[in-house]
Structure 1
Amino acid sequence: MRLLFYTHSLVSDWNHGNAHFLRGVMRELMALGHEVLALEPANGWSRTNLKAEQSSAAVDRFARAFPGLRSVTYGPGFPHEEVLQDADIVIVHEWTERSLVERIGRARRMGRFTLLFHDTHHRAVSARRDIEALHLEDYDGVLAFGESLRQRYVEAGWGRSVFTWHEAADTALFKPISHEGDRRDLIWIGNWGDNERTAALREFLIEPAARLGLSGTVRGVRYPRRALEALAEAGLDYGGWIANADVPAAFARHRVTMHIPRRPYVKALPGIPTIRVFEALACGIPLISAPWDDAENLFRPGEDFLFARDGAEMSALLREILADRGPADVLAASGLETIRARHTCRHRARELLSIVSFLGGARTETSIRREAAE
């Protein structure tokens, strides 16, 4: 089959975690024998910022790190309807411009492809009017990256046509890597996130690192001056943006990492971790998490990773993990086991194909009932 993904960006992962997941899913779909193409706006926010900060070399790096993946940029005058005619499955990410979302929907009326809307953000809650203003009546279904988000669409009337489709680890890239020589204590990889986790970063990352005198590295973008000063005072080295292809090696050079979710996911959309949880566990590095509710039982808390209820407990757990390699190795092995059993991009590629098959069967049944009524 031919699958077409409308993405915010496939090439750029600058403050754009969804690119991580789509790269892995597209690669797995290709391995299963399907033809896959991504489309992204030429002036997309993530791509534009990546080029401005890192130059075009960062874009060229994508082709070397992910050979075989194709992404075509579009702008005004792009022949979307012509491209859509050749597709069997079209997936439109919720960052796509509203007018284009609706234009693709209109093309579906005359097309034979299955059309899905893909939501991987908290805007359905935090900017609810923006999502409610979208005209999705021509879409066959919605893919939501967590059950709590799926319920928002169910409440909006989508019923059996909205599906939970979690993110997962691209295990062709994210896997344990051996590292010779000394390792630093702590690595945190994540973007500043505006004001969505400012207090949590101070409580769970900055203060524990300073209290314990840890050696550590922070990677990510959009850190304001006051944040950089706080990291420096805590003894943490800030390295800026890191290409996702370089993250497994970065994990291997450190002994423990963290998950610190943004506030909207903790409060309004429980049960949805960031993709960094899947990726870290796939690399076999011990992980300690700030509080969130694993409402869907994606993992085995206490076995796959540890929860810290507050900054004091984060400090205690960090001290424990860094002091004894035995428990750290057991924790890492358990997390890796869960990823390989349930949360790889191969799993998600197969889930996507099953969803499309279900929707195709539902359309056939509807057509049969319509013909019988006539």
Structure 2
Amino acid sequence: MKIAFYGSSLLSSYWNGAATYYRGLLRALAARGHDITFYEPDAYGRQENRDIEPPEWAKVVVWKATPEALREAAAEAAGADVVVKASGVGYEDDALLDAVLGAARADAVRIFWDVDAPATLAELREKPDHPSHRQLDKLDLVLTYGGGDPVVEAYRALGARACVPIYNALDPETHHPVPRDERFAASLGFLGNRLPDREARVEQFFLEPAARLPEASFLLGGSGWGDRPLPSNVRAIGHVGTRDHNAFNVTPKAVLNINRASMAEIGFSPPTRVFEAAGAGACLITDEWPGIDQFLKPGEEVVVARDGTDVLDIMAELSEERAAAIGAAGLARVLAEHTYEQRAVLVDALLANTLAKKRAGAAA
């Protein structure tokens, strides 16, 4: 099938947590024979901070962040069998959704792919007149990168015909074990941009334990932390490109995942960070959230912390040997059950079935 995909960025992970997700899924779909064009706006300095070049498995169209360029990019949806508008594109999202759905052929599969369902659903609940409400009945599918039954039920209640979670996963060709890199040496590493609904949890799970463990070293990667006062044993290194994620994950004794508050509350939303770290064979510590045991077994394949005190206790007891064993078990689990190739099988079947039903209905 010919797929037109409108998202934030395929080429840059700069202020773009969905990059790994897009790359893994679309690469796996291309391997199954789909012809993919990814449309991304030139916004937020992402084109100046690319960490991959345009890949062989997808055509990338970068459009200027102007109304005219938006209309031109959206008009190209007319040539696709499947049209996808993702959440969080970053420039006039509502206008882009309107334009893309307006350009799509009547027999095309129309999809809204929500990469931040808790935030989107909260906005829709707060704004009954939000433009997306009137678009839901024009969509054939809502796909989300997490959320489980609560998100599915919420979207169905708002009028979506069908909602299916397509969870984050591992691309073993991108994220895999590598040699240690002393640039990232630390007792505990955390990689995440500074965001309003994450900062308090970073304070609780990472910065407070660091302040109480002065003999240990802590590594903080991600954008936005430059003006934040930090304990003296926390080293902030700024944005870490995806090409360095493997080394960042395997070098510290353990790495920490901290979900945003909204994601932790709704659960069943493992971020790409979880699979990147496990795929590199890292010992992963994660904050607690509903559904973690659906993806990794607590205590054996991942370590779960309820709060900062748990992080302190874990780090005090974690030996290098146990850390290595947890990392090896997590790697084996994600390779067996959580790769993008496996996720693409589900997406492929959804697209084929939905397209067949639409065409059968049009012919009737």
Output the TM-score relative to the length of structure 2: 0.87
Offset at residue 364 of structure 1 (A): 4.7
Task: Confirm or deny: 8 A CA contact 2:187 2:254 kept in the other structure.
Answer: yes
Q: Please list, as runs of the form range in 1=range in 2, the aligned pairs for 1:190-339 lying within 5 A after superposition.
A: 190-194=192-196, 196-212=197-213, 213-223=215-225, 225=227, 227=228, 229-230=229-230, 233-267=231-265, 269-294=266-291, 297-321=294-318, 324-339=319-334
Alpha-carbon distance change, 224 to 183 in structure 1, aligned in 2, over 3 angstroms:
closer
Post-superposition CA distance 1:203-260 (Å, at most 9, x none):
21112223222222111112262x2x22xx2411101011112111222222210111
| Contact persistence 2:270–2:292 (CA under 8 A) | no
* CA deviations over 1:10-52 (Å, ceiling 9, x no partner): 222122111111011222222233322110112x23xx2x46x
> By how many angstroms is 1:184 displaced?
2.7
CA separation in 2, counterparts of 1:349 and 1:209?
A: 40
Q: Secondary structure at the match of 2:3?
A: strand
- Deviation string 1:315-368 (CA, Å, 9 cap, x unpaired) is 1111222xx233222211221122112221112222211111221243355457
Q: Percent identity?
A: 23
Shift of residue 280, structure 1, vs aligned partner: 0.7
Moved more, 125-134 or 169-178: 125-134
Between the aligned partners of 1:296 and 1:92, the Cα distance in structure 2 is 31
CA contact (8 A) 1:124 1:149 kept: no
One-letter amino acid of the structure 2 residue matched with residue 358 of structure 1: N
Judging changes above 3 Å, is the alpha-carbon distance between structure 1 residues 180 and 308 closer, same or farther for their aligned structure 2 residues? closer
Does the aligned pair in 1 maintain the 2:29–2:348 contact within 8 Å? no
Task: State the number of aligned residues.
Answer: 348
Q: How does 1:75-154 map to 2 (within 5 A)?
A: 75=64, 76-77=68-69, 78-80=71-73, 83-96=76-89, 97-108=93-104, 110-121=105-116, 122-128=118-124, 129=126, 132-134=130-132, 135-146=135-146, 147=148, 148-154=150-156
1:130–1:176: structure 2 CA closer, same or farther, 3 Å change rule? farther
C-alpha separation in 2, matches of 1:264 and 1:74: 31
Quote the offset at 1:277 in angstroms: 0.8
Compute the RMSD of aligned alpha carbons: 2.4
Kept in 1: contact 2:88–2:115 (CA 8 A): no
- Paired with 1:198 and 1:104, the residues of 2 have a C-alpha distance of 35
CA 1:358–1:259 in structure 2 vs 1: closer, same or farther (change >3 Å)? same
Instruction: Name 2:176's counterpart in structure 1.
Output: 175
Q: 1:315 to 1:259 in 2, by over 3 A?
A: same
Q: CA deviation at 1:111?
A: 4.2
Structure 2 match to 1:5? 5
SS at match of 2:306: coil
Which letter maps to 1:83?
A: E
- TM (norm. structure 1) is 0.85
Return the alpha-carbon distance in structure 1 between the equivalents of residues 14 and 174 of structure 2: 18
> 2:313 corresponds to which letter in structure 1?
A
- Structure 1 residue 297, shift from structure 2 partner: 1.6
Q: What SS is found at the alignment partner of 2:112?
A: strand
Q: Does 1:73 align with 2:71?
A: no
Which ranges of structure 1 fall in alignment gaps of 5 or more residues? Answer: none
List runs of 5+ in structure 2 lacking aligned partners. none
Greater alpha carbon shift after TM alignment, 271-280 vs 291-300: 291-300
The equivalent of 1:62 in structure 2 is 52
Deviations 1:246-305 (A, max 9, x none): 1112222222101111111122x2221221011111111001112211167222222221
Alpha-carbon deviation of 1:104?
Answer: 1.5
Change (3 A) 1:125 1:158: closer
- Are the equivalent residues in 1 in contact too, given 2:208–2:308 (CA < 8 A)? yes
Give the Cα separation in 1 of the matches to 2:248 and 2:293: 29
| Residues 1:81 and 1:273: Cα distance change in structure 2 (over 3 Å) | closer
Classify the secondary structure of the residue corresponding to 1:142.
strand
